[in-house]
Amino acid sequence: MPLEKYNQKRDFSKTKEPKGIRKTSKGALQFVVQKHAASHLHYDFRLEIDGVLVSWAVPKGPSADHDVKRLAMHVEDHPMDYIDFEGIIPEGEYGGGTVMVWDIGTYHAEGNDDASKDNALMKKQLKEGSIKIVLQGSKLKGSYHLFSIKDDDKQWLLMKGNDEFADGKAFNELSIITKRDFNAIAKGNDVWESNRKSATKKIVPTKKTERREEEKMAHAAKSDGAFSGDDLADAKKITHFPENWRPQLATLTDAAFDHGDWIFENKFDGYRALIQIQNKKATIISRNGIKFNGKYPEIAKSFDGTPQDMILDGEIVVEDSKGKSHFQWLQKYEDHPGKGKLKFYAFDILYFQGFDLRNLGLLLRKKILKAVLPKAANIIYSEHQIGTGIKAFEAVAAKGGEGIIAKKSDSRYQTDKRSRDWLKIKTDKQQEMVIGGFTEPQGGRKGIGALLCGYYDGKDLIYSGKVGSGFTEHILEDLRKKLDRIERKASPFTTIPKEKNVHWVSPKLIAQLKFSEFTETGSMRHPVFLGLRSDKDPKDITIEKPGVVAEKSSDTLTAVKEPQKNRTKSRIEFSNLDKVFWPKEKITKGDVIDYYKSVAAYILPYLKERPQSLRRTPDGIKSEGFFQKDVAGKVPKWIKTRKIKSDSAGESIEWLICNDEETLLFLANWGCIEMNPWSSRVGSLNNPDYIIFDLDPKGVPMKNIIATATKLKEVLDLLKVPAYIKTSGGNGLHVFIPVLPKYTYEHTRQFSHLVSQMVHRDLPEITSLERMPAKRKGKVYLDFLQNGRGKTMASVYSLRPREGAGVSTPLEWDEVNDSLDLKAYNINTIPKRLQEKGDLWANFFDDAIDLKSILNKI
């Protein structure tokens, strides 16, 4: 593509991009990969050929995994002066957006050692539509292949050659020449200039290197250096005031602990609230979005007039003269405003002057909070201790306080999420309960006798006992009035309590209780009424059990999800359990670990003694992740590994073997959403024990996939071959045949090819054996090539890192019909399905066939 097209698309009076001038290629040829945030984020892969940069747009960027192919769209040539362009293309101009030099270096044609021949060889390869090169960059190294897949020369594929650099590792995403990320480049106001006197160029920063918004921030803070605009470098600028954010919640843990990476604050006995200040007006918002201005006008008034817009997180409490908070006083504060001192304790800041602060570390957020918090007698900054949780807990317990909150010091703020980065440790057991009824008072007591309380388990209200202490005479009379208004005839509890003289009520009121312990039957022992809560939804009230168990030592904190008495010692230190892996479904990393724990007994028979090709997706489905095969020196010594010689390089790499639940959970904690085992086991690695038929569904209606699977079953039935079917976990289906491990991968591939040909013969209109996607559009691809040494397929019961959190699930053949809904097989449904149906593949390996005897029949 000549440079005329490049020049025609650009107005060089508006863009700093260089004009298109062809140069003479001499010496080692150069390449560059530029990451480009235009209308769509992509990577521009550019090779110097005959004095220009021949260019491809690669949407997902280069990979270091030999098995991964990337679409590469051939675009117009660029001039050689573009090779280190980094900066901003103005909006409205062609390609408007931010450009980063992601990698740069030299290259040569594969198999050629004479640099003087490279240019001629590359012109020939480009014309033929098949390019094989060796890159010598900072990130991209070794063999890479580009080949055209359509006659119009537009669509190509980019893939990593199979060499020692094909390690599947993720790349550093910073600029290779300035070490900046996209945000820094976009904020830097840089102008690109070409130094015409030398072969290199440079990035020249302008004099205004600080953002105007940050200068306003530092001035607005008026904090005498407590924080500056530099503290906000990683904060996100947003254009709207976020009115609908809700607080991050803490997970209950069983004991206090010491740890240098955690801070410890007092746990307040009050109402959680966000203070939203916009245009000098404060609004108090409860954890459920209820406005509290009318209940606590003094707090709102203390914040009114604050010149900066902000959102603060904290707790409203009422304290006595000794500084002890009283929840009942707070509950009745509107009726008795003189009883105690109303205060707001601020412990976090989410937003300030147009900046979203949630992605900043906790200690940095607290630094900003302390600097900008308005000064008033009833507004208090919540102090903290670093590392010494046990000492902080003992001090609170000695004063009769409610407990402490432990927070990971570098944690981000997770809006409207219960997180294990925040842990609550209580001095006594407390629990909210829903009131479902009450008994008549006896003797001289007035109002009520006792409250009948419960909690929700799904849609069921479970009875948890009655509460008859903690009431004053005034509280008893007030409760009776409230309860009489919501009286009903029928019990709201799933199991009706055997109590006399009961009045049932609609489950609308929530009681805050303290008690000594739960009995074995789930009832509270020695419960005491503390007050009513109006800041929560009754449907949200469930049994609150420790979600994390703290183990104390000098330098580690092990957090697990089960209470101490119900678990065994784990060698895994779980981390970032609340990291969201599926944003739409709000499924977290902890949910993935829970899933694999629940299905471990079912999935392990299909993983044991098989090398694992690890697909690691530590950021969840928002990124494609990366494959890792060699785990040498990267996993704990207790995990089984096996050195296996690579056929191509002749070198051994160390593969992970998943033989037990602990290794399975280690993989899940390592970000392996998907489990990808070999088709063969240690001891017979060259002899697979199953054959795979992958029905590739891209762009194909579901009815055609069903028809193809049904025809495949007919063919295999005629051959008297057992066929096991499962969902892919995405949009397709997989059919497996168990075989005795005495034949090679070539034998199993040939058999798969032969049967696939038989299916295609009967269904030529809807199936294809063509490898190139362009030649099989709208047809089910019968991918027999999945049967190869080292090739992997998602295991039975494996999660897939795709939208919907699908699971590769065994099916009964009568389920394979027009009503089949692949989305129904997901992380939420499979554990229950297993309880109902068990493992549909339980006899899989017992049904292994002798391949030779089957071939003799054909």
Q: Is residue 223 part of a domain?
A: no
Q: Is residue 729 part of a domain?
A: yes
854, 722: one domain: yes
Is the pLDDT higher at 208 or at 535?
A: 535
Q: Is residue 546 part of a domain?
A: no
Q: Is residue 229 part of a domain?
A: no
SS3 content of the chain, % helix, strand, coil (to 5): 20, 30, 45
What would the two tokens of residue 590 be? 């902890």
Q: Is residue 219 part of a domain?
A: no
**Strands (DSSP E) found in 744-848:** 767-768, 780-783, 810-811
Is the pLDDT higher at 776 or at 494?
A: 494
pLDDT (tens digit per residue) in 31-83: 999 998 877 788 999 999 988 899 999 998 999 988 788 888 998 888 888 88
Q: Which residue is it, tokens 């798969």?
A: 752
What's the domain range around 354?
A: 236-426
pTM: predicted TM-score of the whole model, two decimal places: 0.41
Domain boundary among 204, 223, 244: 204
What would the two tokens of residue 763 be? 């269904």
Q: Is residue 212 part of a domain?
A: no
pLDDT (tens digit per residue) in 145-185: 998 876 667 888 899 998 888 888 888 888 888 888 888 88
pLDDT (average), residues 608-616 = 93
Confidence at 212, pLDDT banded by 50, 70, 90: very low
CA 205, CA 213: separation in Å to the nearest integer? 18
| Span of 194-203, 375-384, 448-457 with lowest mean pLDDT | 194-203
Number of neighbouring beta carbons within 10 Å of residue 196: 7
371, 519: one domain: no
Rounded to the nearest angstrom, the gap between the alpha carbon of residue 613 and the centroid of all alpha carbons in its chain is 21
449, 422: one domain: no
20, 165: one domain: yes
> Residue 520: which CATH number?
2.40.50.140
372, 487: one domain: no
355, 241: one domain: yes
802, 756: one domain: yes
- The pLDDT, as a whole number, for residue 176 is 87
> Residue 373: which CATH number?
3.30.470.30
Number of neighbouring beta carbons within 10 Å of residue 153: 12
Confidence at 15, pLDDT banded by 50, 70, 90: low
Alpha helices in 447-528 (DSSP H): 473-485
Give every CB contact of residue 218 below 8 A, 6+ residues apart in sequence: 227, 228, 229
Number of neighbouring beta carbons within 10 Å of residue 809: 23
- The pLDDT, as a whole number, for residue 213 is 40
Query: How many domains are there within the chain?
Result: 4
Strands 641-645 and 652-657: antiparallel
447, 399: one domain: no
Q: Which residue is it, tokens 């069983």?
A: 254
Q: Is residue 606 part of a domain?
A: yes
240, 196: one domain: no
SS3 assignment for 593-613: HHHHHHHHHHHHHHCCCCEEC
CA 202, CA 193: separation in Å to the nearest integer? 6
Alpha helices in 573-726 (DSSP H): 589-603, 661-669, 702-718
630, 771: one domain: yes
Confidence at 227, pLDDT banded by 50, 70, 90: low
Domain boundary among 485, 519, 536: 536
Instruction: Provide the mean pLDDT of the chain.
Output: 84
Which of 189-203, 322-336, 700-714 is the most confident on average?
700-714
User: Is residue 331 within 8 Å of 370, Cβ to Cβ?
Assistant: no
Q: Three-state DSSP class for 349?
A: strand
Closest CA to 543 of 521, 564, 574, 573: 521
pLDDT (average), residues 782-801 = 89
Q: Is residue 562 part of a domain?
A: no
165, 303: one domain: no
Q: Three-state DSSP class for 771?
A: coil
pLDDT (tens digit per residue) in 230-284: 677 778 889 899 989 999 999 888 778 888 889 999 999 889 999 999 999 999 9
Domain boundary among 398, 426, 454: 426
First-last CA distance in the chain = 53
- Indicate whether 385 pLDDT > 70: yes
278, 313: one domain: yes
CA 27, CA 24: separation in Å to the nearest integer? 10
> Residue 725: which CATH number?
3.90.920.10
- The pLDDT, as a whole number, for residue 22 is 65
